[in-house]
Amino acid sequence: MNTRQIFAALANSDTRDLYARVILGQVPESPTSKQSRALLNLHRAGLIDTPDGTWSPTAVFRELLAEGARHTPKGYERFLENGRVTRWPSKAADKDGLIRWIMDQCLATDERVEERELNNRIEKFSDDPALIRRHCVDTGYISRAQDGSEYRR
Q: Structure pTM? A: 0.54
Contact by Cβ (8 Å): 85, 124: no
- pLDDT digit string (tens) for 90-109? 998 898 899 889 999 999 98
Q: Identify residue 53 by its one-letter amino acid code.
A: G
N-to-C CA span, the chain:
48
Whole-angstrom Cα Rg for the chain: 27
Cβ burial of 38 (10 Å; 0-12, 13-18, 19+) is buried
Sheet holding 112-114, edge to edge: 112-114, 150-152, 143-144
The dihedrals phi and psi of 85, each to the nearest 5 degrees, come to: -70, 125
* pLDDT given at position 62: 66
The three-state secondary structure class of 80 is strand
Q: What are the structural domain ranges in the chain?
A: 3-70, 75-152
pLDDT in tens, the chain (153 residues): 677 888 888 898 888 888 888 878 888 888 899 988 888 888 888 888 777 767 665 666 667 666 655 667 788 889 998 889 999 899 988 988 998 899 999 999 889 999 999 999 999 999 999 989 998 999 899 999 998 889 999
